[in-house]
Chain A
Amino acid sequence: MRRRTFNLEAYLFVAPPFAFFVLFIVYPLVRNALYSFTDFRLTNLHAAPFVGLDNYVRVLEDPVFWISIRNVLIYGAISVPGQIAIGFAIAFVLDRRIAGVRLFRTLYFIPVITSWVVASLIFKFIFTDRGLLNYVLSDVLHLTGEPISWLSTPLYAMIVLSLLGIWKGTGWVMVMYLAALQNVPKDLYEAAAMDGATVPQSVRYITLPAVREMTGFVQIMLIIGAFNVFTSVYLVTDGGPLNQTEVMLTWMYRQAFGHYDLGYASALSFLFAIPIGLLTWVRFRLTERSGT
């Protein structure tokens, strides 16, 4: 049995990061919580009258809030499975000693280290009405007469943004799976092959169960990442037209720094935290129950 003792050295070691944590995370969080109950505006920093749950009511009655939730769900539903499937496939192919494997791994990882701003502007250039894609579709392949409005049709725009998310995040998923695949015993494959298993069967019954833990981790990180999508939306559609492509963070940003409505934006941030928190909790419960 361990005895609890007061260990000064340990506390001293913990103190600096803890102070940092309190100053930069706990304190702003608490202030943010307080702001969410006040009518606090950037244009009048001296007065922040208490308004109770008014901000929360306004958020829930705001149609754009629900649009932003819907868009995040569309974004997540496309980009999360997309990144996992493609990232896993690439990792599976590159998890062997073949010529040029390092080069390919590096190439697939490049989008991850590319700036979101650069990637977003390039996607915007490709998908504008007179952009590269419409040029190829109508002038080269003659598939459409009228250019397709990718960025001003809300569903198309969300698909474009999801594609950008997939392009940008697949390399990270690949690296994660490459690490996990190192731990899959190779003799299992040999045994399976001897029993006449095909490659898809090996993947289904050996690889996927062996990397399940990693899949869980990647999934939760990508879902949280999807909820936090901001830069690409801000730069490609800016939430337009008519707030139809607004996501949670762009809407929060617009309320705070476009409309200066800090109280409302604070309430938004807490409401947005609920689904993220719930998802995280559910995911960890599932992991615990599965006992892996």
Chain B
Amino acid sequence: MNRPYQRNHDQRNTRSYRTQAALLVVLIALLLSACGNGGNGGNSESSGNGNAAGSASSAAGGASATKPAKDVKLVFWHHYSAASPEEKTLTETLIPKFEQDNPGIKVEAVAFTWEDLHKKLQVAGSTNDLPDVARLDIIWVPELQRSNWLVPLDETFADFGNTTSGLLEGPVSTAKVGEHYYGLPLNTNTKVLFWNEDMLKQAGLSQPPTTTDEFFSALEAVKTANPNAWGYGEPGLYGWNVLPWIWSNGGDVLSPDMSTADGYLNSADSIAIVARLQQAYQGNKLAGFKPGDVPVTEGHAKGSYALIAEGPWAVAQFQGQFTDYKARMVSFPAGKAGSVQVLGGEDIGITNTRHQEESWKFLQFMTSEYAQVEMGKVGQIPVNLAAMDNAEIKAIDYFAPFLEQLKTAKARPPVPAWPQIDEIINTTMSKIFLKNSDVKTELDDAVKQIDALLHA
């Protein structure tokens, strides 16, 4: 009599235990996003707290900002690469020098990846946890300015004009939104065509392609000579990757007044060049952007991609990791509109911090000849005129092709919605290449989406 009851009882226990266990698993699944959110919040809070504590103590301790009783601590967020000597130069050479020249000011540098820094700034901005100073990709400035997170430098600091007069005009303009300037340029860059001499020789070519037509026939020749290789490697399908092709062929992404993409991204010139690239992709002559592809820079040095378009940092990577490979560079293949590459680079901006004067000093230091030369030595093309004339910078021979390419380089449209537009370009191009969709249909569709964003 006892046993059946017990069995039943045990079973019920097991069952309810299992129900609970299963329920718990479901709940944990649901909570995944909430937990992640909490983690992020905690992170930004900790740096924000430090910031707030620092400013509170300086406000309490000193009567004015000119003579703080305690050190002012500036928090500087950046995405200098930790894999290359950039971050080391920043933390071991530049910041110690700045702190030595400016007693009473300490700089805490916090490194992020490019992608994380963009996210982190947006989240920190909405929770008032921004750092004092941040390094900004030039394409983020309009977006961050629209949120009112950046200080207009020309309005705030009397010696703004004096400072910028020593800097290259083009890069200075990258921080201009509307009538005002929201940053100083830190470095500039663009991409050039890298060519693997051995691979081209094997394909019977002694010279790299200089025009779009030569480029496409080179792809053909490389494929014939080496079916396992690709003529061209492209790591992504964003504006950074595809716009040089479109621009060089006479197309564009937006109208000059940046009010519409209609007639530009879907113009005959844009369609023609994208269709040509699509054809090359279908012929397995270009690769690099889909999951599972050989990484582009590495593949270029190791004989998978004969041609790639990359920035000056690739040279540092070749020198560091592929010592047998000698990088060769030439201007990007010219289409009917010339050889037009994309302008890249970074600005440095000040947020609505209490330490504006100290931050401004740091900005001036980072754009000074000394700092620009040091960063130039690790591959960051300077924007300081005196640094450009500096003997140490002139001795860096691989800057020459980039400086030549910069003369015709074009900036991506400085509209606040650019990050979203860039996503649309990526998705559209992915459909065109990976799904072999009709180029015109896809570009027309992209234009509709972009125009909706522009008029939102």
**A residues engaging B (CB < 8 A)?**
24-25, 28-29, 31-32, 42-46, 127-131, 145-146, 149-152, 157, 217, 220-221, 224, 227-228, 230, 236-238, 240-242, 245, 249, 252-253, 256-257, 260, 262, 265-266, 269-270, 272-273, 276-277, 280, 284, 287-288
Contact = CB atoms under 8 A, between A and B. Distances in A.
Contacts of A284: 15, 18-19, 22
Interface in B26-51: 26-37, 40
Interface residues of B, number: 40
A42 B126 contact: yes
A256 B36 contact: yes
A152 B434 contact: yes
Contact of B26 (A43, A128, A157, A224): A224
B236 to A, nearest CB: 11
B119 interface: yes
Contacts of B127: 45
Given A269-B33, A280-B26, A152 B15 contact: no
9 closest A-B pairs by beta carbon, nearest first, are A151-B292, A152-B290, A28-B34, A151-B291, A128-B292, A43-B122, A129-B292, A256-B33, A242-B430
B30 A241 contact: no
Given A29-B30, A237-B291, A242-B430, 12 more contacts: A42-B122, A146-B284, A224-B25, A230-B32, A256-B33, A256-B36, A256-B37, A257-B40, A269-B29, A269-B30, A272-B29, A273-B26
A242 B126 contact: no
Contacts of B23: 280
A284 B12 CA distance: 12
Contacts of A150: 292
B29 A276 contact: yes
7 contacts: A25-B24, A25-B28, A29-B31, A42-B37, A129-B287, A260-B119, A269-B33
A130 B30 contact: no
A219 B31 CA distance: 23
B294 interface: yes
Nearest to B22: A280
Nearest to B31: A28
A217 B26 contact: no
B244 to A, nearest CB: 22
B291 A152 contact: yes
A29 to B, nearest CB: 6
A138 to B, nearest CB: 9
B245 to A, nearest CB: 20
Given A43-B126, A252-B33, A240 B15 contact: no
B434 A242 contact: yes
Contacts of B290: 149, 151-152, 240-241
A165 B19 CA distance: 24
Interface in B186-242: 227
A80 B304 CA distance: 38
Counting chain B CB atoms within 10 Å of each CB, the highest count among A42, A145, A273 belongs to: A42
A261 B82 CA distance: 30
B108 interface: no
B22 A46 contact: no
A87 to B, nearest CB: 19
Nearest to B293: A129
Given A149-B290, A280-B26, A130 B304 contact: yes
Interface string B107-136: 000000000000100110111000000000
A241 B290 CA distance: 6
B32 A252 contact: yes
A46 B125 CA distance: 11
Contacts of A287: 15
A46 B431 CA distance: 36
B427 interface: yes
B5 to A, nearest CB: 14
B27 A25 contact: yes
